Amino acid sequence: MAPWLASGLVYASALALTAGGITLLYITTRTFNFAHASMATWGFYVAYTGTVLYGGSPYRYFPLSFLFGSLLGVVCYVGLNRPLLRRRAAEITLMMSTLGYDLVLLSGIQIYCDYLTHTFRLFPRRVTMSSYDAEIFGMSASPLILPLTAILILTVFHLFLAKTKFGISMRATIENPLLAGVSGMNSDKVYLAAWVVGGGMASLGGAFMSMAMTGTPVMGMMTLPFMFAGAILGGLYSLYGGILGGFLVGLAEYGAVYYLAMLGGPWVLGYRMAIPLLIMAIVLLVFPSGLAGLPWGSLPRKLAGAMRGVKS
């Protein structure tokens, strides 16, 4: 597997999870969650702590990362989001409040890093998690395991939404909170569940991410624009669109940088952050409602028509 593709797949799986989480929180609680940044970083530090202090492969600690993210999500919902929703706060207020929560989490990360250094003589501010990776068939396991894990999680979540009573009530509340309320559904429980799943996906995504890049206290902050880019590319209102959007943004960043650097020289690397955002801007100019707004059903026919020179 080409080196860019291997780390690209890991990074893309991480963005798929985080962008999916951002979308889920937005369509349920109308909140654009900036705290996704440090929730992701915390997920990485949970996996890191487990690996260096207790040993074994980092994957053993990924479930813990997810649970810790859920906990951070619940704290955010109960302490911040729910009181604001009850006061019918505007979307901008909801969004800015999560920025504040993110700064609190970031400070927590810095304190925790100092604690690790003082107590265990560790250097947690620049971590290469991929050096702890396991091997399958003579190559790193992460490009294989992480995309499969992402697909597994999304399949389980899809079945939960499609088949279980609580999952259906989640879809009902997302579509029409008023009717869901007068039908006897408690939207509070649905929103709490969204933060449990969305927070877990954020932190697990952060743990994924550290397998492809250097783990630092600001890793989440640096990648937050791409999580949002993925969610926006997905159309913001579609959970599956957000997941696909995140995946494409991640893969595009690694692929485009690799090939452009081959063509134009290494100076391109300095502009790597611009590439996914450029892709997002171009897609939105052509399809304003993102991937979810594409005419998927008639797309093959239209493309075939365009190739024959027929206007559809």
Partner 1 sequence: MNINRLYAGYGKFKVLFDLEMEVPANEITVVVGPNGAGKTTLLNSIMGVATVFSGDVVYQGKRITGTPPHKAARMGISYVPQMGNVFAGLSVSENLQMAGYWMGKNELNNRVDQVLDMFPVLRQFIGRKAGTLSGGERRMLAIAMGLMRTPKLMLLDELSTDLAPIIAKRVMNEVARLRNELGITVLLVEQMAKRALEIGDTAYLLVSGQVRFRGKAGDLLRDPELSRVYLGIKES
Q: Which residues bind partner 1 (CB under 8 A)?
A: 88, 165, 168-169, 171-172, 175-176, 178-187
Among residues 16 and 239, whose Cβ is nearest to partner 1? 239
Other C-beta atoms within 10 Å of 122: how many?
A: 16
Measured from the CB atom, the residue of 107 and 176 that comes closer to partner 1 is 176
CB 185 to partner 1: min, Å: 5
Residue 140 β-bridge partners: 135
Nearer to partner 1 by C-beta: 171 or 272?
Answer: 171
State whether residue 238 is helix, strand or coil. Answer: coil
Dihedral of alpha carbons 268, 269, 270, 276, sign: positive
- Please calculate the CA angle 246-209-126 and round it to the nearest 5 degrees: 145
**Shortest reach from residue 33's CB to partner 1, in Å:** 23
Closest CB 166 distance from partner 1, rounded Å: 10
- Taking the complex as a whole, how short is the minimal distance between the CB of residue 297 and partner 1, in angstroms? 15
Contact between residue 217 and residue 37 where contact means Cβ atoms under 8 Å apart:
no
CB closer to partner 1 out of 188 and 272: 188
* Distance (Å, whole) CA 157 – CA 178: 24
In this complex, which beta carbon is closest to partner 1, that of residue 168 or of residue 221? 168
Evaluate whether 69 touches 200 at the Cβ level (below 8 Å): yes
Give me the least distance between CB of 181 and partner 1, in Å please: 3
